[in-house]
Amino acid sequence: MTGRDARGTLPEGLGDALRATAEEIAAVLRGVADTSVPVPGSEWTVGEAAAHLAQANELMADLAAGQERGYGDGTPQSLAAANERALAEFEERAAEPLAGLIVAHTDAYLTAVDQYATNSTGTGGGAGTVITPLGPMSRAVLGSYLLTHMLGHGYDLARALGCRHMIDRTRVDLSLPFLITAMPRVTDATNTARLTADYTIRLWGGARFGVTFTDGAATATSRPPVRPDCTILIEPVTFFLMALGRTDPLGAIACGRVFARGRKPWLAPRFPGLFKAP
């Protein structure tokens, strides 16, 4: 499907990216006999991470279909607790069935968005608000959330199984609507206390957005500030992995994948620590 996906309800390319990412994660899993392999940097095994993905994809498909699903209160602690409860109630850990569920629930999300657009009497069919684990958002931003979540855990599974990950510049761009929406909700109050600063984040290749802190309170927007205190220029995949807590910021700086400029470039190393990935 080209152009705007799901009857014009999703940003261009998002539906295709969701399908492709689900299929690539499934390809990583298919044929894996032992899913007890640990995931690097996680307490989960491959089977548990894949089961979590299957459950999360089902949750987001249900939300897109208009069902109300409680799942924590948005804090990292509550989401972690909800994840553990959900895993305890779901026994499947075999690779083949989980691969199929990840794809099937992704398709169910796209079907739900399509049906909402068909049945909606208003304009902008994907704009209808749903309540997610990280607050209210449109079905289109929910799709960006779904993509971001799959890419993060897909990266973990690929690392655990020695496969190539599925994150690229195009998919990072498609994750931005969710990341910009979520940033104010995942700030670390201890590290942002009393901070007042304007940041512009520029991904290599063109995408950019702004994050402003006013006495510790954060706002994020796709329109960067006119006169930022600090502009961070960062390679897209590095940005994504840093945003999800999958890579070391200092290592990325040392490898030349992150640069800073502006009136207060010394604010750049502080930026990743202002957020706590759920």
Is the pLDDT at 70 greater than 70, yes or no? yes
Against a cut of 0.75, is the pTM above it? yes
How do residues 216-264 score in pLDDT, each as one tens digit? 999 999 999 999 999 999 999 999 999 999 999 989 989 999 999 999 9
State how far the Cα of 147 lies from the Cα of 10, in Å rounded to an integer.
12
Quickly tell me which residue has 């972690």 as its tokens: 80
How do residues 89-147 score in pLDDT, each as one tens digit? 999 999 999 999 999 999 999 999 999 888 875 444 445 899 999 999 999 999 999 99
| Per-residue exposure over 166-175, b if at least 16 CB sit within 10 Å of its own CB, e if not | bbebebbbbb
Q: How confident is the model at residue 71 (pLDDT cuts 50, 70, 90)?
A: confident
Going from the N-terminus, what domains does the chain have, and what CATH number goes with each? 5-171 (1.20.120.450), 186-274 (3.30.1050.10)
| Across 61-72, average pLDDT | 91
Is the pLDDT at 278 greater than 60, yes or no? yes
* Percent of the chain clearing pLDDT 70 (strictly above): 95
| More reliable by pLDDT, 1 or 49 | 49
**Cβ pair 82, 72 in contact under 8 A:** yes
Q: At what angle do helices 139-161 and 95-119 cross, to 10 degrees?
A: 170
State residue 1's pLDDT score.
38
State residue 259's pLDDT score.
96
Is the pLDDT at 166 greater than 90, yes or no? yes
Angle in degrees, CA 49, 55, 61, rounded to 5: 135
If you average pLDDT over every residue of the chain, what do you get?
92
